[in-house]
Amino acid sequence: MKKIFILYSLVLFGFFVLIYGCSEVKKDLVVAPTPELHPSGWIDPSSADFHGAWFSGNDWNLNGCKSCHGGDYNGGTTGVSCNTCHTGGPEACNTCHGNNNHIYPPLALNGASQNTDRGVGAHVKHMITDSTKRFSKVVPCNECHLAVSSFSDPNHIIKDGKSSAGVVFGTLAKTVTDSVTPNPQWDQNLQTCSSVYCHGMFKNGNQNAAPVFNDPSSVVCGSCHGNATTGSPLPGGTHPNLYPSITQCWLCHGGVMNSNGTFKDRTRHVNGIVDIGIK
């Protein structure tokens, strides 16, 4: 009889511990939000409730996402991963601007893809890796914008309701050649660069050139040096008299130009130095 009493006591004690322990665990659980937490158009790019548009109006603050989907956006308490759609993660550069192949527009933050849009403009002409579609070496982001090391870098996010990234010229635009000192200027309203080394502010250059970022026709071969009206790239000074043809550029700039007047090495064009020589 005594043994039976002890056995029943142990069973009851274990049952009590189990019930109490489970109730304590349940108190610590974070209840996953219901699907209704987001509006119906949250993942529809054509909807006014699309999450990209919402973040754009809220300084691109993703902390709310992390609180539910986890610091790595892989599901968190919701069990729903943001990385399913954003394969590089929501903080990847090309999640917001660019595409699967590159991090620069197009696409722009507003989804625009045409180079006449201010968010797209001449990004491709400056940055595309295919040299046949550029006229210079690749221009990195920090030559026109503040350097950014991560998504949360203070230099990165457009804040306070601003709709476009600020332009802060780097070292290339300020390159001094033959005592010609650029004074880089960016006009947000006109979308123009002026007094920059990259576009004519150098010896024998068109020092009043002001190319329009989102107007492809505003830059031709003669825009920076030569005749912007005809497109002839032959610069001023003694050049037209001594070397009147584009097929003779290679005589002094053989590392840059071919004898037929085409580029030999675009990485040596608009690279901050006067590149003279064959090699």
Q: Considering the domain boundaries, does residue 103 fall inside one?
A: no
Between 46 and 105, whose confidence is greater? 105
Q: Considering the domain boundaries, does residue 200 fall inside one?
A: yes
| Same structural domain, 229 and 267 | no
Rounded Cα–Cα distance for residues 204 and 224 (Å): 9
- Token pair for residue 165? 């990234």
Rounded Cα–Cα distance for residues 55 and 51 (Å): 6
Residue-wise pLDDT tens digits, 172-208 = 999 999 889 999 999 999 999 999 999 999 988 999 9
Please, where are the H alpha helices in 42-136? Answer: 51-56, 63-69, 93-96, 123-127
Q: How confident is the model at residue 275 (pLDDT cuts 50, 70, 90)?
A: confident
Cα dihedral 47/51/52/58 (nearest 10): 120
**Over residues 248-266, mean pLDDT:** 92
150 Rama sector, left if φ>0, alpha if ψ -120 to 50, beta otherwise: beta
Q: Which pLDDT score, from 0 to 100, does residue 22 have? A: 45
- Three-state DSSP at 7 gives helix
- Tokens 């635009």 correspond to 173
Q: Considering the domain boundaries, does residue 136 fall inside one?
A: yes
Q: Which pLDDT score, from 0 to 100, does residue 162 have? A: 60
CB-side exposure of 170: number of CA atoms within 13 Å? 13
| Same structural domain, 80 and 128 | no
Most confident residue range from 30-44, 88-102, 226-240: 88-102
Q: Considering the domain boundaries, does residue 274 fall inside one?
A: yes
Rounded Cα–Cα distance for residues 279 and 270 (Å): 17
| Same structural domain, 233 and 180 | yes
| Same structural domain, 128 and 141 | yes
Q: Which pLDDT score, from 0 to 100, does residue 56 have? A: 78
Residue-wise pLDDT tens digits, 207-218 = 999 999 999 899
| Same structural domain, 232 and 259 | no
Q: Which pLDDT score, from 0 to 100, does residue 142 have? A: 94
Neighbours of 247 (CB within 10 A): 14
| Same structural domain, 221 and 186 | yes
Rounded Cα–Cα distance for residues 184 and 273 (Å): 17
Q: Which pLDDT score, from 0 to 100, does residue 180 have? A: 94
Residue-wise pLDDT tens digits, 58-101 = 878 888 898 899 999 999 988 899 998 888 899 999 998 999 89
Q: Considering the domain boundaries, does residue 249 fall inside one?
A: yes
Q: Considering the domain boundaries, does residue 64 fall inside one?
A: yes
Q: Considering the domain boundaries, does residue 96 fall inside one?
A: no
Q: Which pLDDT score, from 0 to 100, does residue 161 have? A: 54
Q: Considering the domain boundaries, does residue 9 fall inside one?
A: no
Nearest Cα to Cα of residue 136 among 233, 267, 43: 267
Rounded Cα–Cα distance for residues 156 and 171 (Å): 19
Q: Which domain holds residue 140?
A: 113-168
- Three-state DSSP at 19 gives helix
Reported pTM: 0.78
Domain count, the chain: 4
| Same structural domain, 128 and 162 | yes
| Same structural domain, 176 and 164 | no
| Same structural domain, 230 and 275 | no
pLDDT over threshold 50, residue 16: no
| Same structural domain, 201 and 218 | yes
